[in-house]
């Protein structure tokens, strides 16, 4: 196994990538490439639980041919290869993208968060459309770079936030924008999931499984010893070097509809209540409060409060439901000048509340179709939208232009968790905090591997 652990500055990598991209001529339209090949040829990076879902949903489109499969775990590669036997397989996405650059049309990235940007940026430098799982990136600087690259190169892009295309979320967006509760002044959102870890950093090391290339799994993240059950598979979301905590996982899904419906940009201030940072794991419980500037759908300022971890959300008058009903396990509450709108997560219709009572609303004017039929198709819809856009048939609804801003908002809250009970002030134009000590967490360092 090659072990080159030289460290490079992540900002320098991103600047060089952007400059390299700007100097490349745009490739022929993907539609022309796909026509020549007969189908849209896709390669898939990351074949774990979510990666296999992404793979199956993309491949279910009748105009897709899966030609490349990549994962650092040979067992996961073998599982996918058994389903798509004609696809070439690789442990290293860099080798796959270089070797197959003329044999594929689009890339699907389904890795742990810390590899989203490195893999996506390499594909975008090759002028390839990218479908990347949420959160779009691990760092704010990466989100801004990917947004810029996608715009400059006019690439089809989509973040893997499937609920963006679900019936109930589209309905909630239309209800809010119709003015059903008036201008919104507060959003409260929550998830009791626990993608945090309050314990100490593990010591020692365990034998690396034969099926796992640990160096490739770490990728650009700092070198560390392998510990069984701590990172791979599954628990990496809890660890600062690899994931973004519960906020970066469930927060992206639950923030999406309020963020989209209210047409928000990035926040002005961020304040997090949590335990003191350990430098290793994310806090298990967080209350993150954002303040956003006004939009046509909000009052002069918008307050947004996020609760996560065991026991979330905290009791609050804003969250009390009629008839003593219990809150859904996860969801969001919009508070407006004329009432409230509850949006459970997920596959439940929103509920309209005025003066402490539920009210009925008419969905017919919104022409959203039949919710039962829509639910049956939702597992594929968001993915097929990406494929169709690559083939010149429509557009994506969660392109990097949108999803990078949503991700930036999420990541600013993650950073604020390093400064408990302090208010951070964000300057979007300069992409800097007023509190200089926080700026070093906007990017980081890439390890050469």
pLDDT tens for 68-108 read 999 999 999 999 999 999 999 999 999 999 999 999 999 99
Cβ atoms of 132 and 120 within 8 Å: the answer is yes
Average pLDDT over residues 149-174: 94
- Percent of the chain at pLDDT > 70 equals 90
At 127, the pLDDT band (50, 70, 90 cuts) reads: very high
Average pLDDT over residues 169-173: 93
Distances in whole angstroms, Cα of residue 418 to Cα of each of 142, 215, 252: 19, 27, 19
Q: Name the maximum alpha-carbon separation found in the chain.
A: 65
- pLDDT at residue 14 tops 60: no
Beta bridge partners of 184: 298, 336
User: Rounded to two decimals, what is the model's pTM?
Assistant: 0.91
The 10 Å Cβ neighbour count of residue 429 is 5
Q: What is the pLDDT of residue 163?
A: 86
d(CA 446, CA 442): 13
At 375, the pLDDT band (50, 70, 90 cuts) reads: low
Fold category of 29-162 in CATH: Rossmann fold (3.40.50)
Q: What is the pLDDT of residue 364?
A: 85
- pLDDT at residue 11 tops 70: no
Beta bridge partners of 433: 426
Average pLDDT over residues 207-216: 98
Q: What is the pLDDT of residue 434?
A: 98
At 37, the pLDDT band (50, 70, 90 cuts) reads: low
Within 13 Å and on the Cβ side, how many CA atoms surround 282?
32
The residue extents of the domains of the chain are 29-162, 164-198+231-373+400-441
Average pLDDT over residues 206-223: 98
- The per-residue pLDDT of the chain, averaged, comes to 91
- pLDDT at residue 59 tops 70: yes
d(CA 228, CA 208): 8
Cβ atoms of 293 and 263 within 8 Å: the answer is no
At 234, the pLDDT band (50, 70, 90 cuts) reads: confident
Fold category of 164-198+231-373+400-441 in CATH: Dihydrodipicolinate Reductase; domain 2 (3.30.360)
Assign 176 to helix, strand or coil. Answer: helix
Q: What is the pLDDT of residue 440?
A: 97
Q: What is the pLDDT of residue 22?
A: 37
Q: What is the pLDDT of residue 379?
A: 64
User: pLDDT tens digits, residue range 258-300?
Assistant: 999 999 999 999 999 999 999 999 999 999 999 999 999 999 9
């Amino acid at each position: 196994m090659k072990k080159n652990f030289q460290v490079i500055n992540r900002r320098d990598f991103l600047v060089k990538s952007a400059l390299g991209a700007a100097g490349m001529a745009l490739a022929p339209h993907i539609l022309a490439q796909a026509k020549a090949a007969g189908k849209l040829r896709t390669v898939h990076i990351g074949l774990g639980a979510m990666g296999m879902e992404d793979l199956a949903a993309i491949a279910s489109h009748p105009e897709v041919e899966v030609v490349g499969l990549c994962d650092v775990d040979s067992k996961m590669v073998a599982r996918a290869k058994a389903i798509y036997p004609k696809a070439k397989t690789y442990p290293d996405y860099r080798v796959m993208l270089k070797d197959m650059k003329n044999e594929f049309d689009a890339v699907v990235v389904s890795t742990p968060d810390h590899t989203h940007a490195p893999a996506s940026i390499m594909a975008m430098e090759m002028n390839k459309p990218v479908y990347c799982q949420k959160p779009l990136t691990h760092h704010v600087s990466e989100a801004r770079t990917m947004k810029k690259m996608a715009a400059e190169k006019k690439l089809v892009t989509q973040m893997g936030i499937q609920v963006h295309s679900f019936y109930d979320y589209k309905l909630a967006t239309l209800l809010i924008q119709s003015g059903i509760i008036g201008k919104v002044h507060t959003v409260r959102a929550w998830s009791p999931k626990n993608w945090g870890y309050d314990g100490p950093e593990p010591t020692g090391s365990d034998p690396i499984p034969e099926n796992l290339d640990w160096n490739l799994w770490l990728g650009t993240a700092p070198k560390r010893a392998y510990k069984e059950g701590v990172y791979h598979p599954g628990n990496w979301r809890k660890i600062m070097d690899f994931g973004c905590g519960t906020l970066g996982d469930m927060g992206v899904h639950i923030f999406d509809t309020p963020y989209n419906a209210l047409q928000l940009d990035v926040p002005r201030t961020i304040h997090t209540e949590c335990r003191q940072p350990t430098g290793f794991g994310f806090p298990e419980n967080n209350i993150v409060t954002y303040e956003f500037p006004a939009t046509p759908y909000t009052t002069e300022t918008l307050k947004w409060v996020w609760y996560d971890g065991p026991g979330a959300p905290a009791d609050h008058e804003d969250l009390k439901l009629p008839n003593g009903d219990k809150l859904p396990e996860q969801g969001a509450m919009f508070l407006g000048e004329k009432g409230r709108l509850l949006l459970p997560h997920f596959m439940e219709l929103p509920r309209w509340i005025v003066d402490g009572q539920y009210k009925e609303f008419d969905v017919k004017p919104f022409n959203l179709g039949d919710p039962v039929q829509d639910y049956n198709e939702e597992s594929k819809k968001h993915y097929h939208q990406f494929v169709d856009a690559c083939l010149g048939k429509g557009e994506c609804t969660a392109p990097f232009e949108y999803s990078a801003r949503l991700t930036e908002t999420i990541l600013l809250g993650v950073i604020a968790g390093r400064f408990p009970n302090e208010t951070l002030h964000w300057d979007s134009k300069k992409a800097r905090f007023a509190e200089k000590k926080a700026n070093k967490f906007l990017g980081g360092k890439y390890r050469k591997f």
